[in-house]
Amino acid sequence: MDDRGPAQGRHVPVMRDRILTLLEPSLTRPGAVHVDGTLGMGGHAEGVLEAFPEVTVIGIDRDHEALALSAERLARFGDRFRPVHAVYDDIAQVIAAQGWARVDGILFDLGVSSLQLDEADRGFAYRVDAPLDMRMDQSEGLTAADVLNTYDVDELTRVLKDYGEERFARKIARAVVRDREQRPFTTSGPLVELLRRVIPGASQRQSGHPAKRTFQALRIEVNDELAGWRRAIEEAVDVLAVGGRIAVLSYHSLEDRVTKRALAAGATSSTPEGLPVELPEHAAYLGLVTRGGEEPSPAEITQNPRAASAHLRVAERIRENHQQATRSTTSGRSSLSRGSTASAGTGTKGTTR
């Protein structure tokens, strides 16, 4: 914690120094641009802005409150920091609207922020009885209560199984549909009670808090997290300049699996077996900087228990791939004027400053 404003005290950025070290080769290039795709309270972005005084940072978040806090926190960096309200799947449109075609560094620190977890009325925490909202962007979309009160048993089972890896998905789904006939779900308390009732005691003793998996599943469904992440990582790799690096922090196996597959696909030649030479358009276009996921040190986990499940993967763009080369009309900076703000029609809602 320090005294620079309200956002600082809320969050210790996970593996911050390690990320800065791994991004250094791409962010010390002249005129480097970095995208923080999950700006949150701006902890990582602040680290980049301080460590690399020439770098411009575009910070994306879908949460208006997080953007407002980090805009205040990072205002001292002036035009070097550009906060944008958008979903990270729109990364290409966001950077184009800011005046670039390619960027040198990209960071995604996936999941929910400490701000979202700590504010009971956002509905992410199962340890307090709070409205079942869970939307990261509270201006649109279904809430967790809407999902619980409107999905049928099969849909609820799919969500709990696919996104929560919950063994008792169907049993829970049936109980939800039964209970909501008496009283629709509005707050987390009755849902947690239902889970304590339905999940066998032995399983509750072995697998941690009984609401953990159901809350994760609802959060992923409400925010379309996995589908959004699949789209985003492809698009992010596509806008990375040759020599640029992408870093991803994941907190559960589902999103880490998507990350691992996307980076491994780029790091593997797709030349059909049996061909005597590698075709240039099939050559690997990513180099893996981290082998397997790196984890925070025990000391960091003691200091910040929320870092415990983090896995960091970093890759470097080593060449253009066919798709990227044909889609791009310029290499390097685009012809859009620098400093233009995201506008209607780009899919973003403009800057917050």
Ligand X SMILES: C[S@@+](CC[C@H](N)C(=O)[O-])C[C@H]1O[C@@H](n2cnc3c(N)ncnc32)[C@H](O)[C@@H]1O
**Nearest residue to ligand X on Cβ basis:** 40
By CB under 6 A, name the one of 52, 81, 88, 163 that touches ligand X: 88
By CB under 6 A, name the one of 38, 143, 188, 348 that touches ligand X: 38
Nearest distance from residue 179's CB to ligand X, in Å? 30
d(CA 28, CA 25): 6
Please report whether residue 256 would count as binding ligand X according to CB under 6 A: no
Please calculate the CA angle 282-94-30 and round it to the nearest 5 degrees: 75
Nearest distance from residue 291's CB to ligand X, in Å? 23
Please report whether residue 59 would count as binding ligand X according to CB under 6 A: no
By CB under 6 A, name the one of 105, 111, 190, 244 that touches ligand X: 111
Residues in region 163-182 near ligand X by CB under 6 A: none
Binding mask 300-329 for ligand X (x = CB under 6 A): ------------------------------
User: Between the CA of residue 257 and those of 48, 287, 288, 346, what are the distances in Å?
Assistant: 27, 18, 15, 29
By CB under 6 A, name the one of 15, 19, 42, 123 that touches ligand X: 42
- Residues 6+ positions from 277 with CB-CB distance below 8 Å: 271
Please report whether residue 123 would count as binding ligand X according to CB under 6 A: no
Please report whether residue 41 would count as binding ligand X according to CB under 6 A: yes
Residues in region 205-244 near ligand X by CB under 6 A: 228
Nearest distance from residue 190's CB to ligand X, in Å? 26
Interaction site with ligand X (CB under 6 A): 11, 13, 38, 40-44, 60-63, 66, 87-88, 109, 111, 113, 136, 228
